[in-house]
A and B are shown apart, each in its own frame.
Chain A
Amino acid sequence: MSEPFFSVRNVTKRFAGLIAVDDVSFDVREGEIVSIIGPNGAGKTTLFNLLTGQLVPNAGEVRLDGQVINRLPPDRRAKLGLGRTFQIAKPLIALTAIENTMMGAFLHHRGLRTAESKALAVLEQVGLAARANVRAGELTLSERRRLEVARSLALEPQLLLLDEVMAGLNPSEVTDSIALIRRLRQTGLTILLIEHNLKVVRAFSERVIVLDHGAKIAEGDAETILNTPAVVTAYVGQRKRA
């Protein structure tokens, strides 16, 4: 097989004495949905930040479409086709939803009008078109998360990294979000998501990567993985105790 679309090789991140991400490797093929799960503190968000450029790994390599990107700052990675959302949504609160989305759209549409129409199209895609002229600070939590997705989608990415976009949503909002991700996937987008909600992970029922104490402890399809004893101990066991 040719080189994978997105490959993570032996990535390690240390903070002083703590190894937050320990020698993690995996691949994502084009058009795939891959979920990363793991208990709190497993290093999921740190791993994400290594992939998007918020953090630089101490060792290892990240490649997108054959290009080594692990030393590039986040804006350069975005230009190469990597879109991301933040676990804690980062709306530009003084600006309207459409202005927020335009910030992403400007990457490929320099003009104000073209960026605006691109942004509006994306807002429609995520179901926020009616709220286009509302300030991001006045949006609800679920709307903010969708705005977060909209801003990264407006970048027209090849790979979308979603960091717990379902957290804090009610069941019907979760169902909507799953439908949204499915629609995105049908457009050919490759998606890597961090998810806490096992219902969501099952919904996609594709490849799942399990992190625990910074290391990858399992990888495989959702049903198999969620029944692996090590995963149950690390992940589900933790949930019972909580």
Chain B
Amino acid sequence: MSSIHSTARVWSLFALGLLLALLPLALLAGNLFWVNILIYTYLFAGLAVAWNIIGGFGGQFSLGHGVFFAAGAYMTAQLYLRWGISPWLGLIAPALLCAVVGALIFWPTFRLKGSFFAIATLAFNEVGLVMANYLEGITGGPRGLQIPFRAALANMIFADQRIWALLMFAFMALCLAVAIMLMRSRLGYYLLAVREDEEAAHAAGIDVTRVKLLGTALSAALASVGGSLFAMYVRTIDPPTVFSLADIGVKFALLALIGGIGTITGPVLGAFLIIPAESYLRASLGGGLPGMHLVVLGLVMLLAALFMRKGIAGAIEAAWRRWRRPAVRSPQPGATTPASEAGRA
């Protein structure tokens, strides 16, 4: 029996998952507070999936993805503001640029392993922040860029927030589809091999650097698209926002980590747990005790790190296995009974 799921099965699960993810929007479409939260949830779910391509599957724990996000945001905004280029087109150029330039700037850091790699990529984010403040001609400096509200489909500016929710949902679906296709390809398997053991990967004929570059390029391009969408949604971008570590650069990694790093669904689960919780806590606790929501969130993350090492997706998988195992084994002669199996598990 093949261990690879059939194409039909994978994509029907994908469709089912998307329907589930749309459910909250259908239920809460009338509530603007929650629609706004869902917009961010879908966007960050997509971004976390994008990060996970190189960060999770490829095992390169990047904290520099904020640079790709920011590049997408600034470039799409400027292409629109200066030359009136529709953001639908204006998100393509930065995505391609991030794929190429991103892979190139990450190249030297690929020699570093583990936390050293993470710290080096973190520095990219900080260099980006300084440069964005300094290069006023391109980024508007510390004042940032403001995009006037002129609602039109071609401008990617909508008066109806629900359209934004659907657009961010489509972005998440795109990232998921890319991740699924990737993990059903040779490159996807090679990313796993590189994550597990570079020396063994080398010996298996895998060009480790090339695999890392391709994974980074794909991941960076998607992160850039997320940045473009973000810019057009909030219509005000400035350096501390797009280069924020807590809200952008590190958050992608964090969502993937909590949801289940290196799994297809993990980053989405992480976003669906953390983003609404964060927004809700900020609104409900922020008034009385500023920063209190961060304390609560920090506690959640701490508990997740302690008790769910493989994230939500890992915990679900383990529960699924426990539930499935007795049923699979019991028909075999001499096998342990379901009861004793469950007792041990």
Q: A75 near B197 (CB under 8 angstroms)?
A: no
Give the residues in chain A near B197, CB-CB below 8 Å: 90, 92
Q: B201 near A103 (CB under 8 angstroms)?
A: yes
Give the residues in chain A near B204, CB-CB below 8 Å: 75, 78, 103-104, 106-107, 151-152, 154-155
Q: Output the nearest chain A residue to B187 by Cβ-Cβ distance.
A: A106
Judged by DSSP, the binding face of B is helix
Q: Output the nearest chain A residue to B183 by Cβ-Cβ distance.
A: A112
| Cα-based distance from A95 to B207 in the complex (angstroms) | 19
Q: Name the interface residues of A154-211: CB closer than 8 Å to any CB of B.
A: 154-155
Q: Name the interface residues of A62-108: CB closer than 8 Å to any CB of B.
A: 73-75, 78-79, 83-84, 86, 90-96, 98-99, 102-104, 106-107
Give the residues in chain A near B203, CB-CB below 8 Å: 52, 74-75, 78, 83-84, 86, 90, 152
Give the residues in chain A near B317, CB-CB below 8 Å: none
B205's contact among A78, A86, A93, A98, by CB below 8 Å, is which? Answer: A78
Q: Does A113 contact B (CB under 8 A)?
A: yes
Q: B3 near A103 (CB under 8 angstroms)?
A: no
Q: Name the interface residues of B196-243: CB closer than 8 Å to any CB of A.
A: 196-197, 199-208
Given A103-B190, A106-B189, A133-B3, answer yes or no on A75-B208 (Cβ-Cβ < 8 Å).
Answer: yes
Given A92-B193, A112-B4, A115-B186, answer yes or no on A155-B205 (Cβ-Cβ < 8 Å).
Answer: yes
Q: How far is the CB of B59 from chain A (nearest CB, A)?
A: 10
Q: How far is the CB of B324 from chain A (nearest CB, A)?
A: 13
| Cα-based distance from A151 to B200 in the complex (angstroms) | 9
Give the residues in chain B near A98, CB-CB below 8 Å: 3
| Cα-based distance from A78 to B202 in the complex (angstroms) | 8
Given A75-B208, A92-B197, A116-B3, answer yes or no on A99-B202 (Cβ-Cβ < 8 Å).
Answer: no
Q: B192 near A95 (CB under 8 angstroms)?
A: yes
Q: Output the nearest chain B residue to A132 by Cβ-Cβ distance.
A: B3
Interface size class, chain A: 35 or more
Q: Does B2 contact A (CB under 8 A)?
A: yes
| Cα-based distance from A84 to B200 in the complex (angstroms) | 9
Q: A110 near B186 (CB under 8 angstroms)?
A: yes
Q: Does B185 contact A (CB under 8 A)?
A: yes
Interface size for B (C-beta < 8 A) is 22
Given A92-B197, A92-B200, answer yes or no on A75-B205 (Cβ-Cβ < 8 Å).
Answer: yes
Give the residues in chain B near A106, CB-CB below 8 Å: 186, 189-190, 204-205
Q: How far is the CB of B257 from chain A (nearest CB, A)?
A: 16
Q: Output the nearest chain A residue to B197 by Cβ-Cβ distance.
A: A90
Q: How far is the CB of B142 from chain A (nearest CB, A)?
A: 45
Q: Output the nearest chain A residue to B211 by Cβ-Cβ distance.
A: A75
Q: Output the nearest chain B residue to A106 by Cβ-Cβ distance.
A: B186
Q: Does B184 contact A (CB under 8 A)?
A: yes
Given A103-B206, A107-B205, A116-B4, answer yes or no on A93-B186 (Cβ-Cβ < 8 Å).
Answer: no
| Cα-based distance from A75 to B201 in the complex (angstroms) | 8
| Cα-based distance from A98 to B4 in the complex (angstroms) | 10
Q: B199 near A86 (CB under 8 angstroms)?
A: yes
| Cα-based distance from A152 to B208 in the complex (angstroms) | 17
Report A1-22 CB contacts with B as 1/0, cut-off 8 Å.
0000000000000000000000
| Cα-based distance from A104 to B197 in the complex (angstroms) | 13
Q: How far is the CB of B336 from chain A (nearest CB, A)?
A: 17
Q: A99 near B189 (CB under 8 angstroms)?
A: yes
Q: A99 near B192 (CB under 8 angstroms)?
A: yes
Q: Output the nearest chain A residue to B184 by Cβ-Cβ distance.
A: A112
A-B residue pairs in contact (CB < 8 Å), sample of 28: A54-B202, A74-B199, A75-B205, A75-B208, A78-B205, A83-B203, A86-B199, A86-B203, A90-B200, A90-B203, A92-B192, A92-B196, A95-B196, A99-B3, A99-B189, A103-B189, A103-B200, A104-B204, A106-B190, A106-B204, A107-B205, A112-B184, A113-B2, A115-B186, A116-B3, A151-B200, A151-B204, A152-B204
Which are the 7 A-B pairs with shortest beta-carbon distances? A78-B205, A92-B196, A90-B200, A74-B202, A107-B205, A103-B204, A103-B193
